[in-house]
């Protein structure tokens, strides 16, 4: 079985490139499941029903998110009804939506858990370590593989989480920073890992946003309005190969696609 986990999709540029490249990747690499982080897909912040539908039509099976999931209130129209749209599980219990799901693929069942880190992150949510222990007690007996999207800022927190659950989950991938790291590996007890998937968005940007307003904020210390960048896009992801008999990852491959022509 092959699983593609895709970094944060940023705005229209990212959506279009995701929808263009994902079907081709699925066919070329014979991919069984696609998990993508969509929290920045609606003009850089949040998600709407129509954009969620675009991601699904474009090849996504499960859409995860993070701290920006609530930035567009239209997400509340679907957060309770779409079984494969996730928000971080460590929000308070009465928060709309769900933090984990089980996606069926033929005779296999793939568990996906979405979590938020706490170091340098707002808001401060429940302990993702202890919560994951509880979730695994519910999911482990029903799932052939369990994937974790750990949406966090600090590399140390992502590494600590992955090593703590090494051998207990199939993969831990980091999201949130929009910068793809080059540390993909299989950890000693068998969990596939990368610190950050990166993003799907404009190449000539600052984390998917136009450059000038971001520089202005750093230079002046005053607020400036950010806009989603356009132009040639980048597509960041990892492809994880899983042994069908042992249900263990055998390989994790970093994917970095760059569009040549400008929009």
Catalytic residues: 68
Contacts of residue 45, defined as CB under 8 A and 6 or more positions apart, other chains included, come to 39, 68, 71, 72
Nearest Cα to Cα of residue 14 among 177, 205, 224, 184: 205
Distance of CA 204 to the CA centre of its chain: 21
* CA–CA gap between residue 253 and residue 240 (Å, rounded): 6
Q: What is the dihedral of CA 104, 168, 5, 179, to 10 degrees?
A: 160
CA angle 63, 145, 246 (to 5 degrees): 150
Phi, psi of 215 (to 5 degrees): -60, -40
* CA–CA gap between residue 86 and residue 69 (Å, rounded): 9
Give the neighbor-by-neighbor strand order of the sheet with 108-116.
100-105, 108-116, 145-151, 171-175, 192-194, 185-186
Contact 148, 109 (CB under 8 A): no
Structure tokens at 58: 């474009």
* CA–CA gap between residue 200 and residue 235 (Å, rounded): 4
């Amino acid at each position: 079985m092959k699983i593609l986990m895709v970094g944060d999709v940023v705005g229209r540029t990212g959506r279009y490139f995701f929808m263009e490249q994902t079907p081709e990747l699925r066919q070329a690499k014979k991919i069984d499941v696609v998990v993508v982080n969509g929290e920045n897909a609606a003009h850089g912040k949040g998600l709407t029903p129509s954009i969620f539908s675009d991601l699904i039509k474009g090849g996504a099976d499960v859409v995860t998110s993070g701290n920006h999931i609530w930035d567009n209130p239209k997400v509340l129209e679907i957060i309770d009804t779409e079984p494969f749209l996730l928000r971080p599980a460590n929000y308070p219990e009465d928060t709309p939506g769900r933090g984990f799901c089980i996606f069926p693929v033929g005779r296999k069942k793939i568990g996906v858990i979405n979590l938020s880190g706490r170091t340098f992150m707002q808001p401060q949510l429940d302990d993702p370590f202890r919560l994951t222990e509880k979730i695994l007690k519910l999911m482990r007996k029903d799932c052939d593989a369990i994937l974790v999207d750990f949406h966090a800022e600090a590399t140390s927190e992502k590494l600590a989480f992955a090593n703590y659950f090494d051998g207990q989950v199939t993969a831990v991938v980091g999201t949130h920073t929009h910068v793809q790291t080059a540390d993909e590996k299989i950890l000693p007890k068998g969990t596939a890992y990368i610190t950050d998937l990166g993003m799907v968005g404009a190449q000539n940007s600052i984390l998917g946003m136009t450059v000038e307003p971001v520089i202005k904020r750093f230079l002046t210390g005053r607020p400036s309005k950010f806009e989603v960048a356009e132009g040639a896009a980048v597509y960041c992801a990892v492809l994880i190969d899983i042994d069908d008999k042992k249900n263990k990852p055998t390989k994790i491959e970093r994917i970095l696609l760059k569009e040549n022509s400008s929009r």
